[in-house]
Amino acid sequence: MITTMERVTSIFRQQAPDVEVPEIVPEHRMQDLGIDSLTFVHILLQIEKDFAIEFSDEELAVVESVQDILDLVVQKA
């Protein structure tokens, strides 16, 4: 069974193929991965679609790391 982290990592790789780290880990911040705001929006939209959830603007305002996204996905699922 695919874990939430594996699904989120797959979305990151699809939406940001230029990320040059060998492994995306929860501690990575968006800026560490070189993800700009437009790519970040695409990642979030795909996560919402794939997990059939919706994030509020307030929730997204505090997202800085992969772990923050994972926490929201788990909370919403």
- In 3D space, the residue among 31, 28, 51 whose CA is nearest the CA of residue 39 turns out to be 31
- pLDDT tens digits, one per residue of 19-71: 989 999 999 999 999 999 999 999 999 999 999 999 999 999 999 999 999 99
Q: CA 77, CA 55: separation in Å to the nearest integer?
A: 11
CATH code where residue 54 lies: 1.10.1200.10
Q: Quick check: 77 pLDDT over 90?
A: no
Number of domains in the chain: 1
2 pLDDT higher than 90: no
Give the pLDDT of residue 5: 95
- Domain encompassing residue 22: 4-76
pLDDT value of position 11: 97
Q: Supply the pTM of this predicted model.
A: 0.91
